[in-house]
Amino acid sequence: MTAAPEAIPGQPRRPRIGIMGGTFDPIHHGHLVAASEVAQFFDLDTVLFVPTGSPWQKTDVTEAEHRYLMTVIATASNPRFTVSRVDIDRGGPTYTIDTLRDLAAANPDADLFFISGADAIAQILGWKDSEELWSLAHFVAVSRPGHTLAISALPRQDVSYLEVPALAISSTDCRGRVGRGFPVWYLVPDGVVQYITKHHLYRSVE
Ligand SMILES: Nc1ncnc2c1ncn2[C@@H]1O[C@H](COP(=O)(O)OP(=O)(O)OP(=O)(O)O)[C@@H](O)[C@H]1O
Ligand SMILES: O=C(O)c1ccc[n+]([C@@H]2O[C@H](COP(=O)([O-])O)[C@@H](O)[C@H]2O)c1
């Protein structure tokens, strides 16, 4: 586990903002536990959940406004969690380099921590402008059941690894369960179950 940036002695503590990027189609308890654990371990003041606008590596993604509203519902009860529309409102394909540039510009005095599952961080060298990402945020890779973390190729000082309680939940599985008529109670927050039902989401997913 790599150490996160420390406060400089004698200097005031800088605000610490976590950024949990995801497609959240739908948001589930795996996302929420990951964000909560990283917030606790790294003493974050807030975690911004940032739903993607158009994730360029995914197809058949649910309309952004539905994913945004489900994320708002899921995070509303936690005073340390908020939701950012930055990736939705920018338009065009969503790249983390743009997310981090926008959030760094909006929060010039803060240290940013980008939170990612083991599966996503393994792909990071294939992301747009990946060599520039490290200067904009500290990256925290959380454990995820079924995925082995391979961070040996990543810059050690810029990436931390955190073991979090294992929740074998994925959005793909949640969509498939709704499509097959199975419940998603307790996999996603109650309000998200109700939102999915109200808006007839995922009914046609096999
Ligand atoms: N159960 C989980 N435990 C830890 N991290 C997770 C878990 N589920 C998702 N993540 C992480 O949360 C971030 C956003 O994930 P995303 O919204 O793509 O969810 P997903 O469940 O992986 O979706 P899908 O199944 O549609 O690919 C990614 O960094 C991902 O690795
Ligand atoms: O910047 C990129 O090229 C890039 C490519 C794939 C994924 N990401 C980011 O990784 C996060 C998780 O994405 P996803 O598609 O697994 O939901 C989300 O914040 C995406 O914007 C970023």
Instruction: Give the tens place of pLDDT for each residue, 139-154.
Output: 999 999 998 877 677 8
Model pTM above 0.80: yes
- Ligand 2 centre and the CA of 95: distance in Å? 7
d(CA 113, CA 81): 14
User: What pLDDT is attached to residue 150?
Assistant: 72
d(CA 181, CA 143): 29
d(CA 139, CA 121): 9
**CB of 144 closer than 6 angstroms to any ligand 1 atom:** yes
What pLDDT digit, counting tens, does each position of 84-119 carry?
999 999 999 999 999 999 999 999 999 999 999 988
**CB of 124 closer than 6 angstroms to any ligand 1 atom:** no
When pLDDT is cut at 50, 70 and 90, the band that residue 6 belongs to is low
In the predicted model, what is the mean pLDDT of residues 3-26?
85
Per the DSSP assignment, residues forming a β-bridge with 198 are none
> Could you give the angle at the alpha carbon of 188 between the alpha carbons of 186 and 191, nearest 5°?
100
- Ligand 2 centre and the CA of 9: distance in Å? 35
- Ligand 1 centre and the CA of 22: distance in Å? 7
**Structural domains of the chain, with CATH:** 16-145+153-167 (3.40.50.620)
Name which residue sits closest to atom 21 of ligand 1, judged by CA: 170
Q: Is the ipTM of this complex over 0.90?
A: yes
User: What pLDDT is attached to residue 157?
Assistant: 84
- Ligand 1 centre and the CA of 9: distance in Å? 36
**CB of 174 closer than 6 angstroms to any ligand 1 atom:** no
Spatial CA neighbour of 1 closest among 151, 166, 168, 165:
151
8 Å CB contact between 53 and 23: no
